[in-house]
Amino acid sequence: MDGIINIYKEKGFTSHDVVAVVRKTINQKKVGHTGTLDPDAEGVLPICIGKGTKLADYIMAEKKGYRAEVTLGITTTTEDSSGEVIEVKPVDFDEEKIKAVVYSFKGKIDQIPPMYSAIKVNGKKLYELAREGKEIERKSRTIEIYDIKILEFLPPNKIVIDVICSKGTYIRTLCSDIGKKLGCGANMSSLLRTMSGNFTLDTAVKLDELKNIVENNNIDSILITIDQVLSDYKKVRISPKATKLLHNGGKIYEYFFAEKYDIKKGENVLVYDAEGVFIGIFKFDFDDSKKMNCVKPVKILL
């Protein structure tokens, strides 16, 4: 069994909990997730099965979508509602002012990761240090907010926002930074992941539903094949003469291409053998010494 299952992670489960339940339910050893969701968060969590685990980095690198409730005026140790309250301030619930601040975060911004995160420093996770009462200096990272919208104003001190962002974005920190810019502080009081790359809420399956699907021998109805996950990539088919070289992960020159392809140098493509078997992700390149196009293996998925 190789591919991806789009799981709806419910509140109370860690991402590792979900992996353990899926592994047991489908009776597969090789199972992994594609980006941690906090126990209090819920929503889309693509789970990789078998050879699909080789795609985890690619899925994690895709855009993410979130819906978050922001509670203004209350600052916590964890930047969400699970932490201890550090400070409480009055909130000037001026909708136009709030809009201006929220929308100012659109684009590339520098973000300092929270202490309560799984980032490792000198071999130790930040949240482990935070639980010991330690706080260390963290370097800011450039992330991108592709889109941010206010869905609801909930007086006297809450708003609901929708965010489309790059890998590595901490929504908790975004909520906290919105509060700082407003001058009253804030924390994230709920979080729903609405999207992870091409995986969305409308196709996400809860763990109880997964069990029923497996019991009815209908796993194929929700298992997304590896090349379907990468459907946005262009495809290159190789002629029968290069089958052995291709299966061994070699560089393939264009005289072995099944047809001519108009693909830019450096672009990742999906490569198939003459029988239509998906081999893996290759980089489309131009060999200056031979003055011809070629594809070089990036990730073999045989």
Please report, for the domain that includes residue 37, its CATH number: 3.30.2350.10
- Whether 184 and 68 share a structural domain: yes
- Whether 246 and 285 share a structural domain: yes
pLDDT on residue 72:
98
- Whether 30 and 129 share a structural domain: no
- Whether 56 and 69 share a structural domain: no
- Whether 202 and 55 share a structural domain: yes
Domain that holds residue 36: 3-61+198-228
- Whether 189 and 73 share a structural domain: yes
**pLDDT by 10s per residue, the chain, length 302:** 889 999 999 999 999 999 999 999 999 999 999 888 888 999 999 999 999 998 888 888 889 999 999 999 999 998 999 889 999 999 999 999 999 999 999 999 999 877 666 677 666 776 666 676 767 667 889 999 999 999 999 999 999 999 999 998 999 999 999 999 999 999 999 999 999 988 999 999 999 999 999 999 999 999 998 888 888 889 999 999 998 888 888 899 999 999 899 899 999 999 999 999 899 999 999 998 889 999 999 988 87
pLDDT on residue 148:
98
CA proximity to 230, closest of 175, 280, 290: 280
Residue among 2, 17, 38, 40 flagged as catalytic: 38
pLDDT on residue 248:
86
Of the candidates 144, 172, 193, which is a domain's last residue?
A: 193
- Whether 133 and 155 share a structural domain: yes
- Whether 167 and 90 share a structural domain: yes
pLDDT on residue 127:
67
The answer to whether 38 is a known catalytic residue is yes
- Whether 75 and 178 share a structural domain: yes
CATH classification of the domain holding 274: 2.30.130.10
- Whether 82 and 157 share a structural domain: yes
Number of structural domains found in the chain:
3
**What's the order of all strands across the beta sheet hosting 234-237?**
234-237, 268-272, 278-287, 292-300, 252-253
- Whether 224 and 241 share a structural domain: no
Residues 160/151, Cβ–Cβ less than 8 Å: yes
255 HSE (CA, 13 A, CB side):
4
- Whether 167 and 206 share a structural domain: no
The SS3 call for residue 189 is strand
